[in-house]
Structure 1
Amino acid sequence: MSCGKGWPEPIVRVQSLSDGGATSIPPRYVKPPSDRPSDSSSTSNVNIPIIDFSGLHGDSRIKTLAQISDACRDWGFFQAVNHGVSPQLMDQAQQVWREFFHQPMEIKQSYANSPSTYEGYGSRLGVQKGAILDWSDYYYLHCLPCCLLDQNKWPALPPSLREVVAEYSRQVVKFGGELMKVLSINLGLSENHLQNAFGGEDIGACLRVNFYPKCPQPDLTLGLSSHSDPGGITFLLPDQHVAGLQVRKNDSWITVKPSPHAFIVNIGDQIQVLSNAIYKSVEHRVIVNSNIERISLAFFYNPKSDLPIEPVKELVTSERPAMYMAMSFDEYRLFIRTRGPQGKSQVDSLKSRN
């Protein structure tokens, strides 16, 4: 336990609680009954769409574009296979981070983060005193723009981590740029429209590695509370051994069954705003497990932080007026950094009052 700089309360590493053999979870992790995972609210025989991105480069291009469009409009989520990121690199990225989280605590503590940037080793989101916390630890890194990249914040151990993460970031950013073109085309815009709205090549990108230790009472808590992602597009590399991500569809929570070497891709709030809610970010959460730990890598492809983000003018009509007020991503993400994950309340607060 440590009173980390800027946090309202002493920081407890969830992994330490789990490794210490706790048979029950502390009260600060117990969710209200309405927020707890429940078998009755989960649909087990449904999965989010799985899309083969190799179809974009052949005779199936039109069909593949339509599949992506439908997934973004109807689900806000899909799994991408044959996306161009090396499967071996994906495995390496998960392995180096698993090794990091199993290092001695004093090594990890040397990278402890603060709420001013969240970069580094952390165990909570939000700075509200007395908040009900999630059963997870994490590591957060800036990857782009280069002016924010501080390799002193990137763990030095295991020795291959920095090289692996740098190449992983490069390949995922490339995939992100290709997907942005697809989203623009499907909206009837020029292929570079959304990318230019994000700042062209001057985008933001960051990685959050989520570590979910074994939990003695998984029915009482969550690894990550329900939220929509505040950024642009999220590329999640899930744990291949155990499912944990749940996506809200209507009134049900659907547990995503990961496909081998697939990315789980979801629309973030900034794309919802730019598309004038043609594409929608969707609430999701993470459940935990009593028998096995989980690790996942969430890569966030975001707009340049100081650019105002508002509905694209070509998507605003008299029948569909602008639904959101302009706000920079810097201003926007202060919400989750202050209050933690709270459903879709932030993007809803941007709705135009005209």
Structure 2
Amino acid sequence: MVHADQEKLVQVVAADVGLVAPPSRYVLREENRPTTVAKQAKLVIPIVDVSRLAMPDDVEESAKLRSALQSWGLFVVTGHGMPTELLDEILEATRKFFHLPPEEKQKCGNVIDGVSFQNEGYGIDRIDSDEQVLDWCDRLWLQLQPEDERRLQFWPQHLRELLHEYTLESGRVTMDVLKAMAKLLNQEEGFFIDMVGERFKSYSRFTYYPPCPRPDLVNGLKPHTDNSVITLLLMDKDVGGLQVLKDGNWVDVPVLGHDLLVVVGEGMEIVSNAIFKAPWHRVVTSADKERMSLAMFYQPEPERIIGPPGALVHEKRPPMFKKCLVQTLADGYWDAFAVGDRTVDFLNVRINAEADAELEARAVVANN
């Protein structure tokens, strides 16, 4: 059986004209609220022009990519070549979906016959207990690749052709980024692409954040790291809300227009032997504006066993993770996400934490 609140959509809760504060299921403990967790820092998110990364003599852009990955775990993507018309259309189609009547959206619902929950489809994230604080968002989660594994019954009709095109374009950008990341480690450009395999998995998460009368009390989306190799994020062109944790401070990611954001996932942290690290990030809400986003997650083939590859393990950098089945990581992610933990920690995949911290401290000293 699913939890009694599993089918309670945030968009419906927020539409109550008499709502002056979010229901208690969404209210964070005082020490976890967005205004009290940590001060916000006025830092600048790094920007990388991916069109220049393929140029063998553009050492400046490669250096910017290395710095962004090692110090932030994410970067703004310019020069991606995706048509602006396509980006506008997919965001508008997202808005159209979340503005459909409830009965239309529920045709894609992730609760089946009121008795079973599945990750794919429309609804809210999984609820495991009465004590779990819920996020102030609804989402549509779809598997995109391999293409022959798509479950089109969960795909809104007006999104199908557009999402297919967007999947191809975002996949191209993702492969370009993976090639550039491999070259940073002095590996062949196909190093990470070969690791994910030909039948890698990709997923989309369309997320809707309705206005909240007390945004200071809730998480739009709780602090988390991604379970992907990398995530490609298209954000609302008008409303911000994404924040990344940097040096103990929450930093606002600005509104990016037609630029994208690449976020390192825990899968990349494992296969880079923690040279590249998955950053903690969250979403805060607005009192009077709705917000949309579209995240594309890329994961290796589920039957693969991944771990720090031999090429990146040596005396000065021992293996930082145990070998693990990709499907185990994928399944464990939802358990870890529900309790606000990293998957690699929840599943006890991480090893040599002390050595990793020492190496990171050395890198900071060297960079200064």
Q: 2:226 maps to what in 1?
A: 229
The alignment-based identity, stated in percent, is: 31
Unaligned stretches of 5+ in structure 2?
Answer: 354-368
Q: Distance in 2 between matches of 1:314 and 1:101?
A: 46
Q: 1:145 corresponds to which letter in structure 2?
A: P
Aligned length: 346
| Aligned counterparts, 1:203-222, within 5 A | 203-222=200-219
1:234-278, Cα deviation, whole Å (9 max, x unpaired): 111011111100000011000111222111111000000001100
Verify the 8 A CA contact 1:142 1:207 in the aligned structure 2: yes
Q: Distance in 2 between matches of 1:126 and 1:66?
A: 42
SS at match of 1:243: coil
Q: 2:8 maps to what in 1?
A: 12
Q: 2:194 maps to what in 1?
A: 196
Q: 1:149 maps to what in 2?
A: 150
In the alignment, is residue 96 of structure 1 matched against residue 97 of structure 2? no
Q: Distance in 2 between matches of 1:236 and 1:52?
A: 16
Q: Distance in 2 between matches of 1:345 and 1:205?
A: 20
Q: 1:351 maps to what in 2?
A: 350
**Which region of structure 1 is more displaced relative to structure 2, 310-319 or 343-352?**
343-352
Q: 2:165 maps to what in 1?
A: 167
Deviation (angstroms), 1:186: 0.5
Q: 1:12 corresponds to which letter in structure 2?
A: K
1:37-67, Cα deviation, whole Å (9 max, x unpaired): 1178343522210112222355862211111
1:325 to 322, 326, 329: 322
SS at match of 1:276: coil
Q: 2:266 maps to what in 1?
A: 269
Q: Distance in 2 between matches of 1:58 and 1:267?
A: 22
The 3 A distance-change label for structure 1 pair 118 and 40 is closer
In the alignment, is residue 244 of structure 1 matched against residue 241 of structure 2? yes
Deviation (angstroms), 1:112: 0.9
Deviation (angstroms), 1:169: 0.6
SS at match of 1:41: coil
Verify the 8 A CA contact 2:53 2:180 in the aligned structure 1: no
Deviation (angstroms), 1:109: 1.2
Q: Distance in 2 between matches of 1:292 and 1:229?
A: 26
Q: 2:120 maps to what in 1?
A: 119
| Aligned counterparts, 1:126-137, within 5 A | 126-137=127-138
SS at match of 1:305: coil
TM norm structure 1: 0.92
In the alignment, is residue 297 of structure 1 matched against residue 298 of structure 2? no
1:315-339, Cα deviation, whole Å (9 max, x unpaired): 1012211110111221112223235
Verify the 8 A CA contact 1:123 1:137 in the aligned structure 2: yes
Unaligned stretches of 5+ in structure 1?
Answer: none
Report 1 or 2 for greater relative contact order, CA contacts < 8 Å, sequence distance ≥ 6. 1
SS at match of 1:215: coil
SS at match of 1:219: helix
In the alignment, is residue 260 of structure 1 matched against residue 253 of structure 2? no
Q: 2:323 corresponds to which letter in structure 1?
A: A
Measured on the aligned residues, the alpha-carbon RMSD in Å equals 1.9
Q: Distance in 2 between matches of 1:131 and 1:120?
A: 21
The 3 A distance-change label for structure 1 pair 126 and 89 is same
SS at match of 1:211: strand
Deviation (angstroms), 1:340: 2.8
Verify the 8 A CA contact 1:119 1:140 in the aligned structure 2: yes
Verify the 8 A CA contact 1:128 1:339 in the aligned structure 2: no
The 3 A distance-change label for structure 1 pair 130 and 43 is closer
